[in-house]
Amino acid sequence: MKKILLSLLLCFSLVSTTTITDLGQKASADTTQINKYLGSITASKQSDGRFLVTYTIKEDFVNPSYEKMTFGYHWPNKYPVAGSTQELSKKKGTYTYYIPKPASYIGQLTFEINYNLTGSYQEAKKISTIFNFPAGNTVTYHTVTATEAGAAYVLIVGAPALAFEFNPGSKILKWIGRAYLGWSLYDGFSNSTGLANTFPMLKAGQYYKTTSWYTSDGYVHIKYEIWDTKAAFDKGVAASYTGTLSSPQFPYN
């Protein structure tokens, strides 16, 4: 039998608890065997980072010695880390199990159902993508040194696994990956975003406050506030310059 491998993307809203559901209502001729056996499946992210999976098998597998169906996730190709996959039951019923907490990499996880009839036939159904990231904001304070002002750039660590390089002369903000606060990005990660023409040039003594955070849609954001001096910040004077930027979206593949 000709080998077939097709995927169907089912979208869902990301909330604090991520749930994947309603496969049976999204049936297509391209995933006949998956739709035949799988009634429903949910995967809910737990407070400890694991995923609780609950699924229903509608009927016993016809050829259990040769058929199998698996559910799990994989990382984009750039990440040097394995995903997680587990074989589902071949008997009619409702089951639960836990997917272990993903590795501490920041990136998109693709969840997928796979069906295999040994040596002859395959089906795949892509369920959704979930952005793996640390919660919360990271606030950093930095006083610009004479050396940094002379070099015309300043590097400030921010959200886990990232540092921000401000280049006011070229009006560029670089997003640089690094192992930081227990999290990592894929090797060689870097992005850049333009700074406004009004962004102030570096001067020794300037005081930077940055607040950075990730969001479930696959972006990282930074709010920057700049004072002429730390003394002005300490006195509660309003920042002389402020702005917010978002990085390019993290890759899915």
Residue-level pLDDT at 43 = 83
What does the pLDDT read at residue 252? Answer: 65
Residue 95 tokens, joined:
């089951």
In angstroms, the CA 19 to CA 43 distance is: 5
Looking at residue 18, what is its pLDDT?
Answer: 36
Sorted by sequence, the CB contacts under 8 Å of residue 96 that are 6+ apart come out as 52, 53, 54, 55
Contact 215, 246 (CB under 8 A): no
pLDDT for 6 = 31
Beta pairing class for 38-45 and 51-57: antiparallel
Give residues with Cβ within 8 angstroms of 131, minimum separation 6. 14, 107, 108, 109, 214, 215, 216, 217, 218, 250
Q: Which amino acid is at 55?
A: Y
pTM: 0.78
CA distance 219 to 12: 18
Mapped onto helix, strand or coil, the DSSP state of residue 171 is coil
Residue 253 is predicted with a pLDDT of: 65
| DSSP 3-state of 4 | coil
pLDDT value of residue 215: 93
Contact in structure between 9 and 108 (CB atoms under 8 Å): no
The pLDDT assigned to 24 comes to 36
Contact yes or no for 188/203 (Cβ under 8 A): no
Task: Please state the φ and ψ torsions of residue 35, each to the nearest 5 degrees.
Answer: -70, -30
- Characterize 209-226 residue by residue with b for buried, 16 or more Cβ atoms within 10 angstroms of its Cβ, and e for exposed: bbbbbbeeebebbbebbb
* pLDDT in 10s for each residue of the chain, 253 residues: 333 333 322 222 222 233 333 333 333 347 899 999 999 998 888 888 899 999 999 999 999 999 999 999 999 888 888 899 999 999 999 999 999 999 999 988 999 999 999 878 999 998 888 889 998 999 999 999 999 999 999 999 999 999 999 999 999 999 998 888 889 888 778 889 999 999 999 999 999 999 999 998 889 999 999 999 999 999 999 999 999 999 877 766 6
* Full set of structural domains in the chain with CATH: 24-132 (2.60.40.2550), 138-246 (no CATH)
The whole-number pLDDT of residue 5 equals 33
